[in-house]
Structure 1
Amino acid sequence: MNGPEILISFAPELGIFVPHERRGGPTTAVTDGASTLGHVVESLGVPLTEAGALVVDGREVAAAHVPAAGETVTVHAVTRPQPVPGAPLRFLLDVHLGTLARRLRLLGVDTAYESTDIGDPALATRSAAERRVLLSRDRGLLRRRELWAGAYVYSDRPDDQLRDVLGRFAPELRPWTRCGACNGTLRPATKEEVTDRLEGGTRGTYDVFAQCEACARVYWRGAHHDRLDGIVERAMAEFGGPYAAAAAPSDSNA
């Protein structure tokens, strides 16, 4: 860019995206006199999915605002919890977030997940077609124009990732209601209904089952239940209200 100069500063939460010399206070940025403020912000490293209010000389403006020489711009972080207007809150996760996808499903959050790399254009297109918030650690993917909505996942640790998403979007939590494998809805099932899908040891040990209405996978309260129930209990305590340890099924025959 080679044109009007502006002063721009970024909220501390956005420091991860900008060069060190742009952190901590206003710095000069040269624009081309035609690009929008949204384009300028992204060219400086911050995906617009992570930018909250854009304030120019004390007034909030849209991302389509074209900066003029001498303007002072402040880029705020998104508000939390962040509203997602116009659609039920649903997520789409890229190939690198499989553990986060399973934990969101464990909590009953509608979460689509691509277990193979289908490419950035296809992910962004699916986000738009299904009106899902795309979660990713790929900054380039979050800049795609066809994206309906998106959010950067700030940590590479699943525990922190889950807290980040729950704190940012405040989805309704309905533990033990979704299939961890396919995101389908679980229903209670009798042993007689699922007996042909059980190993002998499981058939003789457990009596409470659930089955996915989409993929027919069977769940029961098995060896992993205490660990999963701990994840649910912590999430509910911080983000979802009171929770009593469940006797809900948690292991499958996969």
Structure 2
Amino acid sequence: MSRVYLRFYEELNDFLPIERRKVEFEHTLNRRTSIKDLIESVGIPHTEVEIILANGRSVDFDYIVQENDRISVYPMFECFDIAPLLRLRPKPLRDPRFILDTNLGRLARYLRLLGFDCLYRNDYEDGDVAEIAGQQHRIVLTRDRFLLRRKIITHGYFVRSVHPREQVKEILQRLDLYRFIALFTLCSRCNGALIKTSKDALIDRLEPLTKLYYDDFRICLSCDQIYWSGSHHSNSQFEQFRRF
């Protein structure tokens, strides 16, 4: 057996028991192991990690842990310049396209209405999510930390909150996505593109009160769903997300 000393920073502490948070702690190894396996063995998905320092030196996930190593692990740094350090994936989270697991349907709808490309189906298996994320280079959003341990997933985030509106604020803030917001450009139902259309083009499909009170309409190019000002969610409800 050998001993190593671990210290996790910022949001990574969410995955640790209270006595191990924000302090250096000793960990015993029973076999030869990579630093990736070590990190996940204490409960932290590799997708949450951006920088690893072993004895002050930047290392990648394949580094084999040595006796008495002092290891510091840092989360994703979306707002800081860390170019001099070794990144653990080819590029940062600057292409905000997502795939969500089956427990985050309402979050998917909210993010779509804010203009974010989100794949979601309530019959996705974990393997489906992982495979699509790997093939399409999508960011996995989930509340299942074991899903994020799959090697094929390079970008992912464990959603802390259980409340959909709070989840939206959490994602926008943690991944620094405010400048990407484009209200009502994607369909909340199918993720298709919305385009503006005239009332006359839809007149036969509108309810009497909708015809009377609304003039601005959009339609989904994929599923033909109609949206109008005041439908589903108002602009004012989503403007609040810009302030966080």
Report TM bin, short chain: 0.7 to 0.9
Percent pairwise identity:
33
Partner of 2:96 in structure 1? 89
Matched, 1:178 2:186: yes
**Equivalent residue number for residue 67 of structure 1:** 65
Partner of 1:217: 225
Q: Tell whether the 8 Å contact from 2:93 to 2:175 is kept in structure 1 after alignment.
A: no
After superposition, the CA RMSD in angstroms is 2.1
- The whole-number CA distance in structure 2 between the counterparts of 1:223 and 1:127 is 32
CA distance in 1, matches of 2:95, 2:74: 26
Structure 1 position 33, deviation (Å): 4.5
Distance 1:200 1:156 in 2: 38
Whether contact under 8 Å (2:112, 2:188) holds in the other structure is yes
2:20 maps to which residue?
22
**Superimposed CA distance per residue, residues 33-85 of structure 1 (whole angstroms, 9 cap, x where no aligned partner):** 52110110000101111123111111221111111001111112221348954
Alpha-carbon shift at residue 129 of structure 1 (Å): 1.7
Choose which of 96, 105, 117 in structure 2 pairs with 1:98: 105
Change (3 A) 1:25 1:170: closer
1:87-124 residue CA offsets vs partner (Å, 9 max, x unmatched): 8320111111122111211111111112x132111111
Unaligned segments of structure 1, at least 5 residues: 239-254
Aligned-partner SS, 1:231: helix
The aligned counterpart of 2:48 is 50
Residue 79 in structure 1 maps to residue 77 in structure 2: yes
Partners of 1:174 and 1:224 lie apart in 2 by 16
Q: In structure 1, what is the Cα distance between the partners aligned to 2:31 and 2:60? A: 16
Distance in structure 1 (CA, Å) of the matches to 2:75 and 2:93: 21
In structure 2, the CA distance between the partners of 1:162 and 1:62, relative to structure 1 (3 Å rule), is: same
- TM-score w.r.t. the length of structure 2 is 0.87
Structure 2: segments with no counterpart, 5+ residues? 81-88
Answering whether residue 29 of structure 2 is matched by residue 31 of structure 1, we say: yes
List aligned pairs for 1:233-244, cutoff 5 A. 233-238=239-244
Structure 1 residue 157, shift from structure 2 partner: 1.9
One-letter identity of the residue aligned with 1:132: R
SS of residue matched to 1:118:
coil
